[in-house]
Amino acid sequence: MKNEKQIIIFITLLFTTVFVSSFFLLIGGTKTAIMGALLVPCLVLSYCFPRWGLLVFLIYLPLGGTITYALAGAFQAFGKGVIYTGSYSLFHLAKNVFYLPALLGICVSYRIWTKKPLTFKPLLIALAFFTLTCFLTFFFINFPQDFANSEDRIILMGLVGLKVWLGYIPLIFCAYYYLNNQKKLLWLNRILVLIISIACILCLIQYLLLVYGICPGNSELPVPSNTSASLRAQCFVGGSLLYNPGKNLIRLPGTFVAPWQWAWFLIASSFITYGVTLSDPSRFWKSVGCTSIITVLVATLISGQRAALLLVPIIYLLLFLLTQKKNKNFLIKLAIIFILTAIITTQIGLIDERVANFVQRWQYAPPHEFIAKQIQWLTHDRITLLGHGLGKTLSAARRLGSIQLVETFPVQLIYEIGILGYLAFLTVVTTITVLTFKAYRSLKTPPLRGLGLSLWIFILFISYNPYYYPLAVDPVAVYYWFVAGILLKLPVLEEDTTSTFSEKSHC
């Protein structure tokens, strides 16, 4: 009887796959049909094996931009711009094929709810308050605007906003569910380090292809594509790219859709790679972790991303100061770091050029002045209780109507969901920051404590970030919530009798 059910499920899955791929073949072509053929099995497998679905989701995340633009060919050059093919939306949302079924599979599992720890209660209350404010904005702002404005699809914009602001929050509980023992944590750490290293190496190859003229870059493109990131300059991996050596302009997207997403991937990766390298008990994997740190630093240097160039070295230095024991070796290591830094910055022309470009850009447009202008713009009769509508500042909703470009995160939140929603959001991130800090402080095993500290500083940094909007877009929108779940689970994992993280593994 069991074999008969398996045969029926297999046949049903086969026919569904053939039907879906045939449908996509008619509307989008061969590449879309191939994606459709993979779609149904991935959905089913992610639901049946949610831990594997989550793992594949995290692996796919840094490679999604490359698959969409470099492999799938989701755009075509048209005049001075580009047009998107019919497969664009399908490939752009492909990561949800792994995430959503895995989330559903976890939600229907009674174990995750019956074993819910008491530490989740204040977090659940804060999340409920934030969710309520988002839905109040959706029903009382987006709905009336949609009926009053026939041109823009405000309700659909609101649904996009709900997806952006609330869609990845369940990753807290997904991470808690995923990590059922210390070996699973060790496996996850090593996978993350490997995928970060691979992404950075692909970015290095992208840079070399541009330097040696194999990829043309932006020099020959018409204005304004020759001075700003453009899909027309796409090279090897990732999406929009800027490389115009004649004007000393470079903004690489790495494996992501846009350069600034790549910058925040590098910033997030600095916390992850250091914490994993510090905690791994294997000498081999420690060396792999150290290599990943080097690749992140190299990718930061060549990418031309000013935010990453400023923050990544500072993050590594800060984590080093906070995690190393204060002894004679510590002073020697610190002296070596400063000497090497001085030699590298003065003797290597590329670094000197990047630093000079950073200083010049900072002087031309100081970030603190930019933040002040955004706040000043918001205070001119734009602050309301429930905001101006979900999705009104999101680039993901730009094809549904006119959006307002807002580039600082607090201003973006207040503009969309109002002062009430912003206070609710601050309640959520503050609750997460406090709970994860308590979880980190409760750890006794040095390797886990070092990992916990690195990840908690990442949570603290992103929670109160005043510049740009990393929590509104991948990859930080994923890593933040998932890392929060990891931190909350670390005290439980430490109680595991089969200890994987021994005290001797601490650097």
pLDDT tens, position by position, 158-181: 999 999 999 999 999 999 988 988
Strand-pair category, 81-84 with 242-244:
unpaired
pLDDT mean over 304-330: 84
Weakest mean pLDDT among 77-86, 129-138, 167-176, 224-233: 77-86
Pair (136, 37) in one structural domain: no
Nearest to 226 by CA among 210, 244, 241: 244
pLDDT of 114-123, one tens digit each? 555 656 889 9
Tell me, what's the pLDDT at 436?
A: 96
Instruction: Give the model's confidence band at 20: pLDDT under 50 very low, under 70 low, under 90 confident, else very high.
Output: low
State which of 98, 114, 130 marks the end of a domain.
114
Cβ-based neighbours of 236, under 8 Å, separated by 6 or more: 70, 202, 205, 206, 209, 215
Pair (133, 254) in one structural domain: yes
Nearest to 401 by CA among 420, 388, 387: 388
Question: What separation in angstroms does the CA of 491 have from each of 119, 174, 201, 307, 449?
Answer: 11, 17, 34, 33, 10
Tell me, what's the pLDDT at 21?
A: 62
Instruction: Identify the residue with better confidence: 33 or 320.
Output: 320
Instruction: Identify the residue with better confidence: 262 or 46.
Output: 262
Instruction: Identify the residue with better confidence: 9 or 269.
Output: 269
pLDDT of 359-391, one tens digit each? 777 777 787 788 888 888 888 878 889 999 998
Number of domains in the chain: 2
Task: Evaluate if residue 410 carries a pLDDT over 60.
Answer: yes
Pair (439, 377) in one structural domain: yes
Tell me, what's the pLDDT at 99?
A: 92
Pair (170, 75) in one structural domain: no
141 three-state secondary structure: helix
Task: Evaluate if residue 107 carries a pLDDT over 70.
Answer: yes
Percent with pLDDT over 90 in the chain: 42
Tell me, what's the pLDDT at 66?
A: 87
pLDDT of 451-482, one tens digit each? 999 999 999 999 998 887 788 888 999 999 99
State which of 81, 114, 147 marks the end of a domain.
114
Instruction: Give the model's confidence band at 349: pLDDT under 50 very low, under 70 low, under 90 confident, else very high.
Output: low
Phi and psi at residue 248, in whole multiples of 5°?
Answer: 55, 45
d(CA 203, CA 3): 48
Q: Which residues of 61-70 are buried (b: 16+ CB within 10 A; e: fewer)?
A: bbbbbbbbbb
Task: Evaluate if residue 84 carries a pLDDT over 80.
Answer: no
Instruction: Give the model's confidence band at 147: pLDDT under 50 very low, under 70 low, under 90 confident, else very high.
Output: confident
Task: Evaluate if residue 2 carries a pLDDT over 90.
Answer: no
State which of 114, 133, 155 marks the end of a domain.
114
Vertex 123, ends 120 and 129: CA angle to 5°? 140
Residues belonging to the chain: 507
Beta bridge partners of 244: 249
Task: Evaluate if residue 289 carries a pLDDT over 60.
Answer: yes
Pair (11, 151) in one structural domain: no
Tell me, what's the pLDDT at 28?
A: 59
Domain assignment of residue 32, given as a range: 1-114
Pair (197, 321) in one structural domain: yes
Tell me, what's the pLDDT at 507?
A: 37
Q: Could you tell me the two tokens for 87?
A: 């497969």
pLDDT of 25-67, one tens digit each? 666 566 666 766 777 788 888 888 899 999 999 999 999 888 8
Pair (149, 102) in one structural domain: no
Pair (231, 340) in one structural domain: yes
Question: What separation in angstroms does the CA of 199 have from each of 287, 339, 380, 476?
Answer: 18, 29, 43, 15
502 three-state secondary structure: coil
d(CA 304, CA 309): 8
pLDDT mean over 259-279: 94
Pair (136, 106) in one structural domain: no
Tell me, what's the pLDDT at 24?
A: 61
Pair (107, 37) in one structural domain: yes
Pair (89, 236) in one structural domain: no
Pair (251, 102) in one structural domain: no
d(CA 251, CA 263): 9
Average pLDDT, the chain: 83
Task: Evaluate if residue 495 carries a pLDDT over 90.
Answer: no
